[in-house]
Structure 1
């Protein structure tokens, strides 16, 4: 059985804003996007959400509100190792 879920753009945007508002307090505490989303949605820590469209929508919305992904991804400040 295949279940098809249809969602309008307006509904998706509303869901994105709602999810961002739920994760915002965790971001303010210094938590990264993926960990905050997993905590709010009750997902296991091993769940790979960073490549999913809804996750990218939340990040894009968050960035428009001043929460840059670079800062809240856990990768800010990391320096690439040079191979010799």
Structure 2
């Protein structure tokens, strides 16, 4: 599998939990912006990772997801898990 990208992550966030906070551009440089500032809580992230598990077979622990406070950290976890699964 190729690397899971920020574009793919933001698309899943929008699908599962709606748009970001008003005034936040998910298409901008949000890699290091905390999810809470983007308007996504841990429940939204768990929904997204559930979809990723169903679509890609990548499973992350709930604790790991909660610890991933930014898109960059979550993408790193997803891509590391993808590499291990391959």
TM-score with structure 2 setting the length: 0.28
Identify, as 1 or 2, the structure richer in helix: 2
Structure possessing the higher radius of gyration over alpha carbons: 1
Which structure exhibits the higher relative contact order, with contacts defined as CA atoms closer than 8 Å and separated by 6 or more residues? 2
TM-score with structure 1 setting the length: 0.29
